[in-house]
Structure 1
Amino acid sequence: MRFQRRAAAIGLIAASALLLGACGSDDNAGGGGVSAAPGVTCGGKPDLRSSGSSAQNNAMTRFVTTYQQTCQGQTLNYTPSGSGAGRNEFLGGQTDFAGSDSALKQGDETNRAQQRCASPAWNLPLVFGPVAIAYNLPGVTDLALDGTTAARIFNGQITTWNDPAIAALNPGKTLPAAPIVVNFRSDESGTTENFQKYLVAASNNAYAKPASQTFNGGVGAGARGSQGVADATRNTPNSISYVEASFAQRANLGIAQVINSGGGQPVALTTQSVAAAINNVQISGQGNDLTLNLDSLYKTSAPGAYPIALATYEIVCSNYADDQTATAVRAFLQTALSPNAQQALPDAGYVPLPDQFKQRVTTAVNAIQ
């Protein structure tokens, strides 16, 4: 595929199965090929309930399949109602844990969590999915961008493909003197928020826009959902967008290599390059609260690290009032961290947790009481 050829020099063929579960549940793939997980201590509440991030929905489908196969008679009902709804339902005691594209906010949310749990709540980053800068540029088979140049494209400061800033990052390539068409998500989206957070963090203040679930670049054409922006970019020559990697791949779009904050060589989007960024992300939470400093992901300078990824948390009580719930939540998350469940993630387009990072999450999960 063109997607593979553009990144073959940095090993994308080895990651050709890389597809990202849709933020917004555009891809509802099932849990085929997932088997039971060893080393999980089953028991407790038979029917867990959770809700929240739609970005992790396809990963949760696979985790639930493995959980049911590993812990006979136990299941989890996960509702992809959105991160805000998931946090509110957990804080209101309607669910046993939440899935969220962002950690609990200090202040009101952490105070409500303390009241709901009668203990601190922990934010456990469990699912990561890469976001592609996808483009349709006839005659250009590979493209390199850095954070500053991407920010200036997506806020309308750079308007033509042969702009000197783009040309400087792509020596020896013939770039057309054509207007750049920006495609963005017209609906609210965690992908939009995370991509704009990347632009803010990695652009040396070139993207002077708020990072929210609404695209604030002030330029381009909107399309609904991940499939919508992928289709719009595929059908529009000289266009560019941001979208989960699976949609860029299926639309046969180019995926820009990204020069991270360390400078150096452009980095292709692969399972390995995203894992390198995850391994170097800093944790701002204390103890087993693994809240991430996402700027350290977006601004990574690690060689070979691809810096644009969406992280979703499972928000849990550190000490549940009900031992049966604690046992089942712990078992489910142990299942999700098991090799069998993690190995199923690339088929849904997520990145398995690298070993070093997974150990931190495993320690926290095992400490749930």
Structure 2
Amino acid sequence: MKLQRNGRTKALAIGAVALVSTLSLSACGSDNNSTSSSSTASGSAPAAAPAAIACAAKQAPMLGAGSTAQGTAIDVWKTTFGAACSGSTLNYNGVGSGAGVQQFNQGKVTFAGSDAALKPAEVDASKAVCPGGQGVDLPMVGGLVSIIFNVDGVKHLVLDGPTIAKIFDSQITKWNDPAIVALNPGATLPAADIQAFHRSDDSGTTQNLTAYLAKTSGGAWSYPAAKTWAGKGGQSAAQSAGVSAQVKSVKNSIGYAELSYAQSNNLDSASIATGASKPVDATAANAATTIGTAQVVGTGNDLALNLDYATKTEGAYPIVLVTYEIACDKGNKAETLDTLKSFLTYTISDAGQAAIGDKGYVPLPKTVASKVQALIPTLA
């Protein structure tokens, strides 16, 4: 099915349009599992807008749910898209990747956001809500998982896979443990207990971190990569915002969250010793180096990626993530199909990716974006 366009393409000027906001996302997205906030394609006019967005000939309101890692990106996109296409609203609930996929497979949302590709069982379940097709993974938001810390007297910290695994599995419990000291010569590490925080909810962020640990810890992380936390000890908090808030408020603590949360909370991120000539800082540019080498491992219309968490390439930050938008390749609801394709066409465009580049995200490299751009018009 061809992407339908209205008779004219609506140009966007900076600050030209402001829409009434209902329950808009905060700067870091929604992070309450029990009473998840929602957002509509509304808000103040964007600081920068693409020259044009192709609105659907048949505009409609859409529902989305899932990843909080992409919450700020969705907030940026819905504002710009809603300003261009006033008949196309988006209400997105940041309930976490696991809950988002569940809602998609229950037919409750137009698309889901997930920090991890669909599992075979989830693909099978999606066939019930995608008549004649199935749910597919569309890479849309690049990012990285920061190892955030709040250690008394320490502003720069170097860690590696085995050490991170042992910290989050309560095998290393003091900040002045010899393993941490060896990675940080010259640093004054306190003889304090480590307060480690992990996600309490099923999370694609957790899956990406544990995939890294499974590949790089030399067996110190004995659990499989999974959305559900399996490490021993530590304390839990709901969603990335909850983990970030705890690390910010608790001295001598450590946790993990997307770079956007580290930045918005003014939290320090550990550099990672990967086997390259020097530790790699948690920056978007360094994450892009890793994402650019990702290979498509999905079959058919599925664009699930294989990320090289064990990379030793110079300047390649290893704990990366790609957030997918999950939609039906065939069997999408007719009333929202055109709007869905219009929205996704914008978000994967050069302008859409550039719009989230200063929000702690990693614009997807052309090697990945071009595949998504070619697939979206075929959604039916």
User: What is the TM-score with the length of structure 2 in the denominator?
Assistant: 0.78
Superposed displacement of residue 140, structure 1: 2.8
Contact 2:98/2:203 (<8 A) preserved: no
Corresponding residue for 2:206? 192
Residue 31 (structure 2) aligns with? 24
Q: Percent identity?
A: 40
Which stretch of structure 1 is more off in the superposition, 162-171 or 140-149? 162-171
Match of 1:171 among 165, 182, 185: 185
Match of 2:18 in 1: none
* CA 1:64–1:283: 2 relative to 1, 3 Å: same
Residue 287 of structure 1 deviates from its aligned partner by: 4.3
Q: Cα 1:324–1:304, aligned 2, differ >3 Å: closer, same or farther?
A: same
* Structure 2 contact 130–330 (Cα < 8 Å) conserved: no
Instruction: Please say if 1:159 is aligned against 2:173.
Output: yes
Aligned position for 2:310 = 299
Show the counterpart of 1:254: 268
Equivalent pairs counted in the alignment come to 348
Which one has a larger percent helix, Structure 1 or Structure 2? Answer: 1
Partner of residue 268, structure 1: 281
Structure 1 CA distance, aligned partners of 2:247 and 2:268? 10
Residue among 263, 284, 290 paired with 1:277:
290
- SS of 1:316's partner is strand
**Alpha-carbon offset, residue 64 of structure 1:** 1.9
CA distance in 2, matches of 1:122, 1:104: 8
What do the CA deviations read for 1:86-140 (whole angstroms, capped 9, x no partner)? 3344334443332223322214633642762312432101123322112222333
- Looking at both structures, which has the greater relative contact order when contacts are Cα pairs under 8 Å and sequence separation is at least 6? 1
- Note the aligned Cα RMSD (angstroms): 3.2
1:23/1:191 contact within 8 Å kept:
no
Name the aligned partner's letter for residue 333 of structure 1: L
CA contact (8 A) 2:116 2:208 kept: no
Cα displacement (A) at 1:253: 3.2
Question: Deviation at 1:39?
Answer: 6.1
Among 79, 104, 110, the alignment partner of 1:90 is 104
Cross-structure match for 2:352: 341
Question: How far apart in 1 are the matches of 2:239 and 2:95?
Answer: 15
Q: Write the deviation string for residues 53-84 of structure 1: whole angstroms up to 9, x where unpaired.
A: 33323322222222223335333333334434
Displacement of 1:85 in angstroms is 3.9
Structure 2 contact 270–281 (Cα < 8 Å) conserved:
yes
1:137 to 2:151 alignment: yes
Q: Which residue of 1 aligns with 2:9?
A: none
CA distance 1:133–1:122, change in 2 (3 Å): same
What TM-score, normalized to structure 1? 0.80
CA change 1:331–1:252 in 2 (3 A) is: closer
Alpha-carbon distance, 1:141 to partner = 2.7
Question: Which of 292, 311, 314 is equivalent to 2:325?
Answer: 314
